[in-house]
Amino acid sequence: MHGYSQHSASAHGLTPWHGTTIIGVKRGDRTVIAGDGQVSMGNTVMKPNARKVRRLGEGGPEKGKVIAGFAGATADAFTLFERLERKLEQYRGQLMRAAVELAKDWRTDKYLRNLEALMIVADKDVLLVITGNGDVLEPEGGIAAIGSGGNYALSAAKALADYEDDPEKIARKAMKVAADICVFTNDNVTVETVTP
């Protein structure tokens, strides 16, 4: 389950690196997910301040202990967020179990199979990438990135990880690098953090 690959999203028929940048960084007992705010349609910026990173289950028993970010179609991502929240309720806040069950549904359900999004999710214990191909990946080194600027952010974060221990600083600096390079990523960054 360890490792991180772009292949799974491509194999599922998604356009995996389009329209946003999301990064997750886990260091010790802190995990951060950061995302930019740009929504693009073709070469046009439709909205500069979208929130693509959010807390899940704020009204439920988990009270925001899980954070998530998405790359892909917004309506599809919110459908997946809602499904993940239901799975978290069903499995009493066990993120790994909820993520595996969501990935199974995503891969096999006729409706969900057509959703075009990738997700990075985290709680106090794990950082995961969930794909529509049925993959639940725990990235090597505690760093994952998705979206059009994902490779830039991932590279920057991996380089920074040797010199910086604060996951928020790593995520913010990596997002800055991605925004400077990727035309589909801006510097209007949303950050959510989970700690024990």
User: Which residues are identified as catalytic?
Assistant: 20
Helix axis angle, 95-108 to 74-90, nearest 10°: 130
**CB of 193 closer than 8 Å to CB of 27:** no
CA 161, 175, 55, 40: dihedral to nearest 10 degrees?
A: -150
Handedness of CA 96, 160, 29, 72 (dihedral sign): negative
Pairing of the two strands 117-122 and 127-130: antiparallel
